[in-house]
Amino acid sequence: MIRGYAESENPYPAIEIHNQMCVNSVAPDTHTYPFLLKAIAKVIDVREGEKVHCIAIRNGFESLVFVQNSLVHFYGAISQAEKAHKVFEEMSDKNLVAWNSVINGYALNSRPNETLTLFRKMVLEGARPDGFTLVSLLTASAELGALALGRRAHVYMLKVGLDKNLHAANALLDLYAKCGNVKEAEQVFHELEEDSVVSWTSLIVGLAVNGFGEKALELFEEMERKGFVPTEITFVGVLYACSHCGLVDKGFAYFERMQKMFGIKPKIEHYGCMVD
């Protein structure tokens, strides 16, 4: 039951079931803590997660690799990258899941330097990066504007076939767009075997912020024709494009449509574009 709730949209009952287990002296097994920690990470309950960590130590489960992986993921998800790293360093068996969790913990918390340091250490220790690793690496590279590193990652992706991984390809597209390399971003986009709203949004925003407003709006219209539903980030790109092309009336029309048709509540980024 804990597993079922942990993987559902409402993971809170998983925590309640564990509390009932403790009250009724029902002993946990090796599968209890990984799924429980997954549920707690979803709801970002720091105190509950730390309590479960203590219980896992008391019950002798902390040394199990599945529990350790879950603890690294949990601490990264609640913005405590240092604690995630501490658990990681105490692991005797650092598998790919553990490396990805600790690297992603730093990437999620906007710590690109630490992300890249751990990635280099991972490669030196002989672990082979996968799609999840590349997403973290490319996210960190984009934050630092490290285009050369991103290009090396791109070569590696082509070499091992990870260019077909949608999440990694989207991260690569985003890197090129943020570094101002619109042509390469477009090339990655057009080479995608499958795309998503993330792919379209990354290119729309990239075109808009790099001075290709009209092209961004054309791409937005094409995206809608293909049936993709825009997100609040898509509309940041659209409104930015309108602002920098001097399309005031069109900008107000999109702003109104964003709210009425898509139910997106404007945020400060949207208002910022409208003020411009």
| pLDDT digit string, tens, across residues 28-42 | 888 899 999 999 999
Spatial separation of the C-alpha atoms in residues 224 and 197, rounded to whole Å: 10
pLDDT of res. 128:
93
Query: Of 181, 213, 186, 214, nearest to 200 (Cα)?
Result: 186
Rounded Cα distance between 5 and 240, Å, is 40
pLDDT in tens, 185-234: 999 999 999 889 999 999 999 999 999 999 999 999 999 999 999 999 99
Report d(CA 237, CA 119) in Å as an integer. Answer: 31
The pTM assigned to this predicted structure is 0.84
Cα dihedral angle (111, 112, 114, 116), rounded to 10 degrees? Answer: 160
pLDDT digits 0-9 by tens, 86-97: 999 999 989 999
Mean pLDDT along residues 235-254? 94
Q: CB-based contacts of 238: which residues, under 8 Å, 6+ apart?
A: 204, 208, 216, 217, 220, 230, 254
Q: The domain 94-190 is classified under which CATH number: 3.30.450, 3.30.2020, 1.25.40, 1.10.3470?
A: 1.25.40
